[in-house]
Amino acid sequence: MKKGIHPDSYRFVVFKDVSNDYAFLTRSTAETKDTIKWEDGNEYPLVKLEISSTSHPYFTGKMKLIDTAGRVDKFRTRYEKAKAKK
């Protein structure tokens, strides 16, 4: 392994899936300004995730639509406009 190419600033960070409130603690170099109080009473940096293995359809086996930015509505609006032009 090459020396000097990997970061040395690993620390404990909490990753939280905002779609189902699942959170886990791991070591990471991810930068964030948010913090959260963890189960052990300590405060750790918080990285918010839109999707994780607990909410992704591949891992859950369920088809679940997660529309955080209104993408489906935007598509339907564009589709209706195109349909009206015909």
In order along its 86 residues, the chain shows pLDDT tens digits of 788 888 888 999 999 988 888 899 999 999 999 999 999 999 999 999 887 777 766 666 676 555 556 777 788 888 888 888 76
Q: What is the pLDDT, as a whole number, of residue 46?
A: 94
- Beta-carbon neighbour count of residue 19 at 10 Å? 16
Does any domain span residue 17?
yes
Question: Looking at the DSSP assignment, which residues form a beta bridge with residue 27?
Answer: 12
User: Which residue is it, tokens 């791991």?
Assistant: 26
The answer to whether the Cα torsion of 58, 60, 62, 63 is positive or negative is: negative
Does any domain span residue 69?
yes
Does any domain span residue 19?
yes
Residues spanned by the domain of 21: 11-85
**Secondary structure letter of residue 19 according to DSSP:** T
Does any domain span residue 34?
yes
Does any domain span residue 5?
no
Q: What is the pLDDT, as a whole number, of residue 58?
A: 64
- Domains: count for the chain: 1
